[in-house]
């Protein structure tokens, strides 16, 4: 193990320019190199790709990386080529001539790493190649897709084990994902036939990310205000429909922002062009559906704003995690509205992603998706630490105060909401637990809405007993009652409000009190100020003028080489150059992210600029 570790560290510095491994990487790399099946669960931005790429460079044969993401394949192959490593991808973006030419090169042993889509594995042409090649490792990215317990189940992933079993010699199997619950972990190990695997979970916490949930009246104005306060930054704005993407992007362009768009309704050519404009910083703001981002390793994304609430925590954490991949401070902001729940419920009930599923299997997937949506909704209403809520969802328990989310930076006061709580639970009980939560809220507020009258809820003994509360406040209280298990919603297309055991006890106990936290008008420290102070502290002695000149040089080189700027050097590397001011090769190689290969390509140009700047 010690020998593998030393060799791996040498390769890490030579090719990647890093002096040491991040948490979990060394254990995963040495496990693979010792010949063991390996399963890594690491959050987005934690460096999963190094865990299979680095061993691939050291193993004698070829490594096959299975991924469903065309963008990831393209991005990682470009990055490997920049480091002097021959790699290729085989997917539907290639013409037939390109595909067979790449396969011919693969047969000659030109490539150490080949990325392939799961649908290609059992094709005659790929199987013919695989039967003759020396395959040292098969590595599966986004491995949660193999499990029906996962949020992105893909039936094509079930064919991976058939491919592995068809090989003349079983290779090392490695598997990686950013999000996996206990059920998903067990499913992956069983379905892929992992043999006594090394399982490493590094923890889901990304301490550099700031989290906030807002309930704005005008979502676009909230975005515009944020961009005014954060000029010249790159970020992603996620929307849940193509229509929202178009509207938000058009408004941003109208207001003078460098924005572009990405969704499945665009042509392949336009999607690729817009993605490249974002990656190359031609247009630093991307407005997109969740079709965008998987496998995009753009390191200088300083914010991710969700214009709409995603349908589960797994998706949210993965999408938000595309911010701050360089380890620098970044912000993840979710803009919630009640319509988001309705839209997501529609998507779940009419999902057609897995057409191979039917009957009980499909109902099971839909049922799990509804439960995930409830927990995502609770996240938008909790007054507890947002980071702690997410970590607990993934089975990780830490401090209940992170100091870097909107809830931890807000001063709350305890408010007695017993009257409204009793009205809601009592109305559900008196109505025979037959109606949805929205009409119950309308009833206790004394509404004469059509549904209230149709269901005779104006005759309910709790009708109009909470008239002094606003609808938004009653919704908050109802969500709190669900979060604390007083009431719950049934798992069906039109959820019905029911009373849980704690709610029954609450109605029976006339002395019971329900307290809720509500924010004071002023925060202890505004999130924006805290972020700015942290950024200033982090940057320390970085010269802003030099940093911008280094960025300009990087941009010019990237244009000439036709690669994304972050593949030349990351922002973190440029900031480290500013601090160290290297003048020799040895000093340049001490900079974070500068290895031998990148130094040989670009080191002299950056050192010349630094010397002339002084």
SS3 415: strand
Element (H, E) at 283: none
The full DSSP string for 206-247 is -TTEEEEEE--S-HHHHHHHHHHHSTT-EEEEE-SSHHHHHH
Nearest-5° angle of CA 220, CA 221, CA 225?
120
Domain 209-393 top-level CATH class: alpha beta
**Which is higher by pLDDT, 215 or 92?**
215
- Is the CATH number of domain 2-201 3.40.50.300? yes
555 backbone dihedrals φ, ψ, rounded to 5°? -65, -40
**pLDDT at residue number 274:** 92
Tens digit of each residue's pLDDT (9 = 90 or more) over 239-258: 999 999 999 999 999 999 99
- CA-to-CA dists, residue 110 to 85, 89, 127, 333, 572, angstroms: 10, 13, 18, 44, 32
**pLDDT at residue number 136:** 94
116 backbone dihedrals φ, ψ, rounded to 5°? -145, 145
DSSP for residue 410? S
Domain ranges of the chain: 2-201, 209-393, 412-519, 540-613
Whole-number CA gyration radius for the chain: 26
Strands 515-519 and 412-416: antiparallel
Question: What distance in Å separates the CA atoms of residue 199 and residue 97, rounded to the nearest whole number?
Answer: 40
Give yes or no for a contact between 541 and 575, defined as CB atoms under 8 angstroms apart.
no
CATH of the domain spanning 412-519, picked from 1.10.10.10, 3.40.50.720, 3.40.605.10, 1.10.600.10 = 1.10.10.10
Please return the burial class of 291, using the count of CB atoms within 10 Å of its CB with bins 0-12, 13-18 and 19+: middle
Extract the tokens encoding 287: 């407005």
Percent of the chain with pLDDT over 90: 47
332 backbone dihedrals φ, ψ, rounded to 5°? -125, 110
Show the beta-strand stretches assigned E in 189-342: 198-201, 209-214, 234-238, 259-262, 285-288, 301-306, 330-335
**pLDDT at residue number 357:** 58
The full DSSP string for 436-498 is -HHHHHHHHTT---HHHHHTTGGGSTTTTTTTTS-HHHHHHHHHHHHHTTSEEE-SSSS--EE
Closest CA to 66 of 132, 128, 156, 150: 156
DSSP for residue 14? I
Domains 2-201 and 540-613 share a fold: no
**pLDDT over 50 (residue 144):** yes
DSSP for residue 569? -
Question: What distance in Å separates the CA atoms of residue 614 and residue 602, rounded to the nearest whole number?
Answer: 19
Strands 135-140 and 198-201: unpaired
| Residue in the block written with tokens 């990351």 | 570
Domain 540-613 top-level CATH class: mainly alpha
**pLDDT over 90 (residue 93):** no
- The secondary structure of 354-400, three-state, reads CCCCCHHHHHHHHHHHHHHHHHHHHHCCCCCCHHHHHHHHCCCCCCC
SS3 310: coil
**pLDDT at residue number 356:** 57
- CA-to-CA dists, residue 56 to 89, 103, 112, 122, 587, angstroms: 15, 18, 7, 22, 29
Maximal C-alpha separation, the chain: 84
Give yes or no for a contact between 37 and 174, defined as CB atoms under 8 angstroms apart.
yes
Query: Residue 527: which pLDDT band, with cuts at 50, 70 and 90?
Result: very low
**pLDDT at residue number 92:** 81
Mean pLDDT of 4-22: 85
Tens digit of each residue's pLDDT (9 = 90 or more) over 501-513: 999 999 999 889 9
Percent of the chain with pLDDT over 70: 93
**pLDDT at residue number 363:** 78
- CA-to-CA dists, residue 524 to 168, 230, 403, 406, 412, angstroms: 64, 21, 11, 10, 10
Question: What distance in Å separates the CA atoms of residue 283 and residue 371, rounded to the nearest whole number?
Answer: 37
**pLDDT at residue number 468:** 94
583 backbone dihedrals φ, ψ, rounded to 5°? -125, -10
Query: Residue 535: which pLDDT band, with cuts at 50, 70 and 90?
Result: very low
**pLDDT at residue number 23:** 86
**pLDDT at residue number 478:** 92
What's the whole-number average pLDDT of the chain? 87
**pLDDT over 70 (residue 532):** no
**pLDDT over 80 (residue 538):** no
CA end-to-end distance (rounded Å), the chain: 45
Please return the burial class of 437, using the count of CB atoms within 10 Å of its CB with bins 0-12, 13-18 and 19+: buried
Collect all residues with Cβ–Cβ distance below 8 Å to 545 and sequence separation of at least 6. Answer: 613
Question: What distance in Å separates the CA atoms of residue 11 and residue 119, rounded to the nearest whole number?
Answer: 32
Tens digit of each residue's pLDDT (9 = 90 or more) over 183-199: 888 889 999 999 999 99
Collect all residues with Cβ–Cβ distance below 8 Å to 346 and sequence separation of at least 6. Answer: none
The full DSSP string for 100-160 is HHHHHHHHTT--SEEEE-GGGTTSHHHHHHHHHS-EEEEEESSGGGG-TTSTT--GGGGGH
């Amino acid at each position: 193990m010690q020998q593998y570790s030393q060799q791996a560290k040498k390769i890490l510095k030579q090719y990647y320019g890093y002096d040491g491994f991040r948490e979990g990487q060394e254990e995963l790399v040495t496990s693979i190199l010792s010949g063991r099946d390996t399963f890594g669960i690491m959050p987005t931005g934690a460096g999963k790709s190094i865990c299979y790429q680095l061993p691939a460079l050291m193993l004698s044969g070829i490594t096959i990386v299975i991924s469903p993401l065309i963008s990831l394949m393209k991005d990682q192959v470009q990055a490997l080529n920049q480091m002097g490593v021959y790699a290729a991808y085989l997917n539907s973006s290639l013409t037939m001539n390109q595909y067979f030419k790449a396969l011919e090169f693969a047969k000659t042993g030109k490539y150490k790493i080949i990325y392939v889509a799961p649908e290609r594995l059992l094709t005659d042409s790929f199987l013919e190649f695989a039967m003759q090649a020396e395959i040292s490792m098969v590595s599966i990215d986004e491995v949660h897709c193999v499990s029906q317990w996962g949020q992105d189940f893909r039936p094509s992933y079930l064919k991976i084990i058939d491919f592995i079993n068809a090989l003349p010699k079983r290779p090392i199997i490695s598997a990686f994902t950013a999000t996996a619950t206990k059920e998903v972990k067990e499913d992956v190990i069983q379905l892929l036939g992992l043999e006594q695997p090394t399982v490493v979970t590094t923890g889901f916490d990304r301490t550099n990310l700031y989290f906030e949930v807002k309930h704005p009246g005008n979502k676009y104005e909230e975005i515009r205000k944020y961009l005014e306060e954060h000029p010249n930054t790159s970020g992603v704005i996620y929307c849940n429909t193509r229509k929202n993407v178009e509207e938000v992007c058009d408004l941003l362009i109208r207001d003078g922002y460098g924005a572009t768009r990405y969704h499945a309704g665009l042509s392949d050519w336009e999607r690729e062009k817009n993605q490249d404009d974002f990656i190359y910083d031609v247009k630093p703001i991307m407005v997109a559906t969740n079709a965008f981002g998987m496998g995009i390793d753009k390191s200088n994304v300083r914010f991710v704003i969700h214009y709409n609430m995603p349908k589960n925590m797994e998706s949210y954490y993965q999408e938000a995690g595309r911010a701050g991949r360089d380890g620098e401070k970044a912000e993840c902001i979710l803009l919630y509205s009640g319509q988001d729940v309705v839209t997501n419920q529609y998507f779940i009930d009419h999902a057609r992603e897995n057409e191979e599923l039917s009957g009980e299997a499909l109902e099971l997937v839909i049922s799990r998706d509804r439960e995930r949506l409830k927990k995502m909704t609770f996240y938008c209403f909790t007054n507890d630490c947002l980071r702690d809520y997410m970590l607990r969802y993934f089975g990780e328990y830490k401090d209940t105060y992170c100091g870097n989310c909107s809830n931890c930076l807000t001063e709350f006061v305890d408010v007695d909401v017993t009257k409204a709580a009793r009205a809601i639970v009592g109305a559900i009980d008196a109505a025979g637990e037959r109606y949805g939560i929205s009409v119950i809220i309308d009833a206790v507020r004394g509404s004469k809405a059509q549904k209230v009258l149709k269901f005779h809820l104006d005759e309910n003994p709790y009708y109009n007993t909470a008239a002094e509360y606003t609808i938004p406040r009653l919704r908050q209280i109802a969500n709190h009652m669900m979060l604390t298990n007083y009431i719950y919603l049934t798992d069906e297309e039109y959820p019905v409000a029911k009373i849980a055991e704690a709610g029954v006890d609450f109605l029976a106990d006339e002395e019971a009190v329900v307290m809720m936290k509500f924010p004071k008008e002023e925060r202890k420290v505004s999130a924006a100020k805290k972020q700015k102070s942290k950024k200033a502290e982090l940057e320390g002695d970085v010269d802003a003028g030099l940093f911008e000149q280094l960025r300009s040089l990087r941009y010019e080189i990237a244009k000439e080489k036709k690669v994304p700027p972050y593949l030349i050097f990351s922002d973190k590397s440029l900031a480290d150059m500013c601090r160290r001011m290297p003048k020799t090769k040895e000093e340049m190689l001490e900079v974070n992210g500068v290895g031998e290969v990148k130094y040989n390509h670009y080191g002299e140009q950056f050192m010349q600029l630094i010397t002339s700047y002084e």
